[in-house]
Structure 1
Amino acid sequence: MSATSSKRAWLQNLVGEWSYQFHTADDSDHSGVAANGTESVRALSDHFIILDNTGQSSDGSQTRAATLIGYEPNTGRFAGAVAGSALDRLFVYDGDLSPDGRALLLETEGPAMSEGRETDRYRDVFQIIDDDHRFTAAEVLQDGEWKEFMRSDFVRVR
């Protein structure tokens, strides 16, 4: 299997209906936040998928997010964007598979989480555990190291 078809196939593994549990890291600025919801992932083409996420936040309000992720054969990399009701901007991704091929690492830049900086580098890690389990972790680059600050654990429902 070529690298291009392998990367396209990786994305297709996410297609389906999922339920999830979301939580923030214990040492994050917003520790103890938990939520749950559903995510519907569909293929837009062989190269692109759309993730439509609906959840309930800890305060009971409904949240929605839409993510587009695709593999671009001309660059050999993944690209995408995410927008949502809890976000005040469009985050644009660039990334690739991890060296072991188990995770998709998508980086972006956004408003800083801490005072003293205007922006931070962020990375969303999409990892497939098996056919029916996966997770997405959100990380921020601090002092040269990636630090997880929230995570969603997914179970396939269809």
Structure 2
Amino acid sequence: MDTHVAGHTLGMTRLVPASPEEVFAAWTQPDRIKAWFGGRSMTCPEASVDLRPGGLHRTVVRDADGTDYANPMLIEAVDAPGRLVLRIEEGSACPLPGAVGTLLFLPDPLGTRFEVRWDHPTEAMRRQHEEMGFERLWGETIDKLGAHAATGPAGCPFAAPPTPDHGWLHRLLGEWRFETECVMPGGDVQKASGVERVRSLGAYWVVGESEGSMPGGGQAKWIVTMGFDVAAQRFRGTFVGSMMPHMFVYDGALEADGRTLTLDTEGPAMDRPGMARFQDIVTMLGDDERTLISRVQGPDGSWTQIMSSRFQRIG
């Protein structure tokens, strides 16, 4: 939901589509930790947990080059399934000695409101943690946590393990208010607004249901579905709305920045007979704010922006 910085503190809050009991277990059971812990390109070959105050929560993460990084953390407090407090011991090989991480697993209608807060002994250490990639690494780690914790019952012959890309889609969960500007066929700019509510459909899909005003007047409702095709390594989805009979079918990919999802689709051309190529580009500015830009490709191959929306989380 949001990444926040204050004084000696760094924090992040996200919605995970699983119960607090499931998310807490994923953090405290060694076999489960090894299944997801670490950034997108990392694995976790070792994990052990002595779940008591004074016990040790120890992981080893391995990067894409095969380098291992040990993360021994002293458990300062346990309040299952709601809270876990960890401290990086002074004198350990970790570069943030004395930093304290507080993990909260709070009930939410969509599953768990997971909050992580790191308190550092000095502001300089907080800046160091930022420069080490706090926002990206923790964002990717929670993507993997969400995909793991939300895994449904086994047995379906078409099932495959959820991936970090499924977890990335969970960043969209929650209730959002949006403001939109559209460029009409005549060139006029019209404004619209509304509310979107995004929920998960198991570990694999998210469904966004929106209602609001239309450019030029009137009200409409629309539904977006989005998932990730493991075999094709592509995001897939659909858009249908009460304002038109056409279904837009999405095919897209996450950009290298880890924040931007570019979705290609096809629909009726706005200024001529026949069909045209469209793109919807979703960019996470933070876990509480995102943008959507829509553009259309002309006969000469050039792209023209036709809509921009800004979403702010309200729940």
Same fold (TM over 0.5): yes
Q: Which one of the candidate residues 108, 121, 125 is aligned to 2:277? A: 121
Q: Does structure 1 retain, via aligned residues, the 8 Å contact 2:182–2:215?
A: no
- Cα distance in 1 between the residues matched to 2:186 and 2:252: 26
Deviation digits for residues 19-56 of structure 1, max 9, x if unmatched?
Answer: 0001114x854532111100000111222100101001
Q: CA separation of 1:18/1:72 partners in 2, compared to 1, >3 Å: closer, same or farther?
A: same
> 2:208 maps to which residue?
51
1:145 deviates by 3.1
Q: Which one of the candidate residues 130, 155, 158 is aligned to 2:312? A: 155
Letter matched to residue 132 of structure 1: D
Count of residue correspondences: 156
- Cα distance in 2 between the residues matched to 1:45 and 1:72: 15
Q: Which has the higher strand share?
A: 1
Larger radius of gyration: 2
Q: CA separation of 1:44/1:30 partners in 2, compared to 1, >3 Å: closer, same or farther?
A: farther
Q: CA separation of 1:58/1:121 partners in 2, compared to 1, >3 Å: closer, same or farther?
A: closer
Structure 1: segments with no counterpart, 5+ residues: none
The aligned runs of 1:13-92 (5 Å cut-off) are 13-25=171-183, 29-92=186-249
1:100 deviates by 2.0
- Cα distance in 2 between the residues matched to 1:69 and 1:29: 32
- Cα distance in 2 between the residues matched to 1:121 and 1:58: 21
Q: Does structure 1 retain, via aligned residues, the 8 Å contact 2:185–2:270?
A: no
- Cα distance in 1 between the residues matched to 2:254 and 2:302: 18
Letter matched to residue 123 of structure 1: Q
> 1:134 maps to which residue?
290
Q: CA separation of 1:74/1:141 partners in 2, compared to 1, >3 Å: closer, same or farther?
A: same
> 1:101 maps to which residue?
258
Q: Which has the higher helix share?
A: 2
TM-score (norm 2): 0.47
> 1:5 maps to which residue?
163
Letter matched to residue 67 of structure 1: V
> Percentage identity across aligned positions?
33
Q: CA RMSD in A?
A: 2.0
